[in-house]
Amino acid sequence: MPNAYFAADLALAAPNPLYLRYQQMQADTQYSSHKHPWGQLSWISLGIMDVELEQQHLIAPANYLIWVPMGIPHSAYVRQALNYTSIYVSDNLARLLPKEACLLASTPLISALISDFGQRQLSHMQDKSDQNQAELLIARLSQSKCVPNFLPSSSDTLIAPILEALQTEPDNARSLSSWASAVHSTERTLARRFQSELGMSFGQCRNRIRVLQALAWLKEDKTIQDIAWRLGYSAPSAFIAMFKQLIGVSPERYRQQQSPIPKS
């Protein structure tokens, strides 16, 4: 049945105030449309996760958590093998988080709190100390900015063809003025449209498209220099600076942190 609750969810006791489930997901894993009886935070150690809602498509790299309030139908797609943590949030704590589905930026403290639960393989909270840790985690997340998407989409007639071209060719270095001519507009109009439609500049949007491609290539054997060249950078240092700004660590550090995922 589409948009149904998972049977495993219905058999669970309510979060007290959190319930965590851990899973190793293989590449190209697809979950059909479903919903949960509690709000859900999705956290991945590395890689990218896609969550599709009725009128929203969330693409999240590993430095963001995906928040979906209770009862909202959504499907999910995992592009690459990764370690995944699902966190159900009690109704009381969920009130501290946004009312709409969005991305919440992680911090070193947020990651450490979740990692500690994971290292102990804790599901339900066992004592007052665990409950305090859960409350601190949600308190910190409540202070995170609710981001509609890491990479926004648009049906705007000027922006849509540019986004499609950049996603097809992330190394495309065409200037905004050149794109303006291609879509029969002006550079000033196009710059305003990117800000109003996507909430970011043309350059910021292109960097996010490039970093998502870089995350995929870092799973392979390509060198940092090769990735930088494939993304249109003349020097690896510029690519590394961009990557670190968006992801929080250097490409090499990101690659070193990857945990091998056993094949089933």
Sheet of strand 4-5: strand arrangement: 4-5, 29-35, 74-78, 48-53, 56-61
Q: What size, in residues, is the chain?
A: 264
Q: Quick check: 209 and 246 in contact, CB under 8 A?
A: no
User: Mean pLDDT of all residues in the chain?
Assistant: 89
DSSP labels, 143-166: TS-EES-SS-----TTTHHHHHHH
The pLDDT of residue 243 is 92
If you average pLDDT over each of 18-32, 128-142, 243-257, which comes out highest?
128-142
For residues 88 and 92, give the distance between their C-alpha atoms in angstroms, rounded to a whole number.
12
pTM (2 d.p.)? 0.73
For residues 141 and 119, give the distance between their C-alpha atoms in angstroms, rounded to a whole number.
20
The pLDDT of residue 257 is 66
For residues 43 and 112, give the distance between their C-alpha atoms in angstroms, rounded to a whole number.
12
Mean pLDDT of 153-178: 91
For residues 125 and 20, give the distance between their C-alpha atoms in angstroms, rounded to a whole number.
9
Q: Quick check: 196 and 135 in contact, CB under 8 A?
A: no
Alpha helices in the chain (DSSP H): 7-10, 91-94, 108-119, 128-142, 160-168, 176-182, 187-198, 202-217, 224-230, 236-247, 251-256
Give the pLDDT band (50/70/90) at residue 258: low
Give the pLDDT band (50/70/90) at residue 264: very low
Q: Does the structure show a pLDDT above 50 at 248?
A: yes
Per residue in 10-43, pLDDT (tens digit) is: 889 999 999 999 998 887 788 888 899 999 999 9
Domains of the chain listed by start with CATH number: 4-147 (2.60.120.810), 160-256 (1.10.10.60)
Report which DSSP code applies to 178: H
Query: pLDDT: is 218 or 38 the higher one?
Result: 38
